[in-house]
């Protein structure tokens, strides 16, 4: 069903001139004449920045190699829904220091909760994002148990993100010991919840009995994408106040 009275157009590279080498700036200018907002999912983060620079309508980052802010908004809503607040909570990120990890870091700068990221060497989050000044309590560690211990939220994600599919075998070796299983979950707080932005690979980054178990909130998390994305559009395009 259509919600909020909106109507979405899905434009693949073959539907717009970007696929034929049109500069992003020109696509931004043209699309801005047609639509009220643009959500873009791409690889290079610079493309989103370029689009936003030249568009005269709101541009929403629907995922880049660097960041995945919309997903983090849904995850934060899920934390609020189940734990009441993120204030004073310990959030654990276990696995790849990827776009999700970077956006969790940005959220920690904004909101001030404790974030412990466990990743193997060579798979750290973006150094510039980690170094950002602000009120974050972010720690990068090598031992997943250190991240999980006393955590209120345990998070993971695929080991090979979109565009990294050919690295799957190499990554399975690098991420050995980083599966979120029951023994890791048992180190977290009793009331801890498990989150995963999906798609999940049971038996790789998460054990089936964790993602399908009582602490998992992944279906609420998936549903919350809908609510949060609607809220974001209402604020950016519908004149709705934040709060």
The residues of the shown chain that bind ligand NVA, judged by CB under 6 A, are 63, 68, 98-100, 157-158, 161-162, 197
Q: Is 119 a catalytic residue?
A: no
From the list 171, 197, 215, 217, the catalytic residue is 197
CA distances from 229 to 31, 54, 92, 168, 233 (A): 20, 23, 24, 30, 6
Residue whose CB is less far from ligand NVA, 178 or 189: 178
CA 138 to chain centre: 16
Give me the least distance between CB of 101 and ligand NVA, in Å please. Answer: 9
Residue 171: closest CA among 160, 162, 181, 161: 160
Catalytic-residue membership of 45 = no
CB closer to ligand NVA out of 140 and 197: 197
Using Cβ positions, the residue closest to ligand NVA within the complex turns out to be: 161
Look up residue 158 and give its two tokens. 């695929």
Active site residue 71: yes
Q: Is 41 one of the annotated active-site residues of the chain? A: yes
Residue closer to ligand NVA by CB (options 25, 162) is: 162
Least distance in angstroms from the C-beta of 187 to ligand NVA? 24
Q: Among this protein's residues, is 81 annotated catalytic?
A: no
Minimum distance, C-beta of residue 206 to ligand NVA, in the bound complex (Å) = 14
Helices and strands, number each (H, E), in the chain: 10, 7
Q: 190: which 2 tokens?
A: 């009793």
Q: How far is the CB of 28 from ligand NVA (least distance, A)?
A: 23
Q: Catalytic one among 96, 152, 157, 196?
A: 157
Residue 122: CB minimum distance to ligand NVA, A: 16
Half-sphere exposure of 59 (CA within 13 A, CB side): 24
Catalytic residue (choose from 29, 41, 137, 202): 41
Q: Which is nearer to ligand NVA, 126 or 157 (CB)?
A: 157
Q: Given CA atoms 61, 67, 68, 73 in this order, what sign does their dihedral have?
A: negative
Token pair belonging to 62: 């629907």
To the nearest 10°, the Cα dihedral for 157, 163, 166, 168? 0
Residues marked active site are found at 41, 68, 71, 157, 197, 225
């Amino acid at each position: 069903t259509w919600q909020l009275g909106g109507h979405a157009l899905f434009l693949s590279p073959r539907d717009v001139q970007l696929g034929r080498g049109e500069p992003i700036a020109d696509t931004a200018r043209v699309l801005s004449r047609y639509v009220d907002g643009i959500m873009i999912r791409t690889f290079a983060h610079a493309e989103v920045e370029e689009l936003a620079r030249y568009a005269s309508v709101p541009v929403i980052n629907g995922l880049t190699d660097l960041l995945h802010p919309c997903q983090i908004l849904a995850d934060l809503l899920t934390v609020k829904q189940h734990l009441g607040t993120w204030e004073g909570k310990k959030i654990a990120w276990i696995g790849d220091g990827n776009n999700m990890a970077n956006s969790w870091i940005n959220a920690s700068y904004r909101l001030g909760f404790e974030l412990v990221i466990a990743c193997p060497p060579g798979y750290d989050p973006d150094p510039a994002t980690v170094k950002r000044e602000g009120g974050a309590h972010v720690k990068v560690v090598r031992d997943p148990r250190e991240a999980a211990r006393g955590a209120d939220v345990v998070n993971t994600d695929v080991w090979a993100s979109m565009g990294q599919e050919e690295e799957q075998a190499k990554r399975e070796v690098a991420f050995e010991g980083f599966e979120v299983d029951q023994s890791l979950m048992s180190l977290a707080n009793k009331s801890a919840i498990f989150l995963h932005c999906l798609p999940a690979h049971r038996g790789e980054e998460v054990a089936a009995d964790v993602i399908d178990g009582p602490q998992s909130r992944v279906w609420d998390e998936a549903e919350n994408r809908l609510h949060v994305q609607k809220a974001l559009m209402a604020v950016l395009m519908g004149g709705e106040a934040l709060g």
